[in-house]
A and B are shown apart, each in its own frame.
Chain A
Amino acid sequence: DPKIIQKPKYLVAVTGSEKILICEQYLGHNAMYWYRQSAKKPLEFMFSYSYQKLMDNQTASSRFQPQSSKKNHLDLQITALKPDDSATYFCASSQEQGANQAPLFGEGTRLSVL
């Protein structure tokens, strides 16, 4: 059974719309992350949360907003979608954010913006 659940698996959106990508982890981890992967770039760090607090934000655009309603949830809201946002978005988690704590990844949400 997958321990990091991402929904939906596939998502098609029109330019200018808004979508929410869902992530829940059942590993009891305290740190959660979002990464983006596209043909142009390797796995790219976006956000990290530790104990539901934002620790790091490497996304230049405020159109990307993580939301943590519960300790094991970290959703990603994307507004004013652009075709360049098309990518696979991976949620990940680790016991803590720190040394020797390599993140474990979910299956990803594949987003296509038309």
Chain B
Amino acid sequence: QQQVRQSSQSLTVWEGETAILNCSYENSAFDYFPWYQQFPGEGPALLIAIRSVSDKKEDGRFTIFFNKREKNLSLHIKDSQPGDSATYFCAVLNTGNYKYVFGAGTRLKVIA
């Protein structure tokens, strides 16, 4: 049972483009949605997060767009840089048990 789905296993964009990473979920009890960035050999690092009462959250080049009705969200990385090449995980908080469920991740490659 896949509660959180990231639509692409991998994504390649050119430097300067906007990378769009998509995530969808099944359970309406999910309330808080962090995104994590993970480089090889490192732990996941919290990047940006949004609550279900908002439809957009921006932090520098990173923006989350959230659609509660459709149960999906996307992470936009503006002006992508080669240093953004990493795996990005969407996570959702189940307010029923306060556990985070992670998607399988999208591996982003930014080509110079």
Contacts and interface: CB of A to CB of B under 8 A. Distances in A.
B60 interface: no
Nearest to A94: B100
A79 to B, nearest CB: 25
Interface of A: 4, 42-45, 48, 56, 58, 90, 97-100, 102-108
A105 B91 contact: no
Interface of B: 31-32, 34, 36, 42-46, 49, 51, 89, 91, 93, 95, 97-105
B45 A105 contact: yes
Contacts of B43: 4, 90, 105-108
Contacts of B31: 99
A102 B34 contact: yes
B32 A105 contact: no
A109 to B, nearest CB: 10
Q: Label chain A's interface by main secondary structure.
A: loop
Nearest to B31: A99
15 contacts: A4-B43, A42-B103, A42-B104, A43-B89, A45-B99, A45-B101, A90-B44, A98-B98, A99-B98, A104-B46, A105-B36, A105-B44, A107-B42, A107-B43, A108-B42
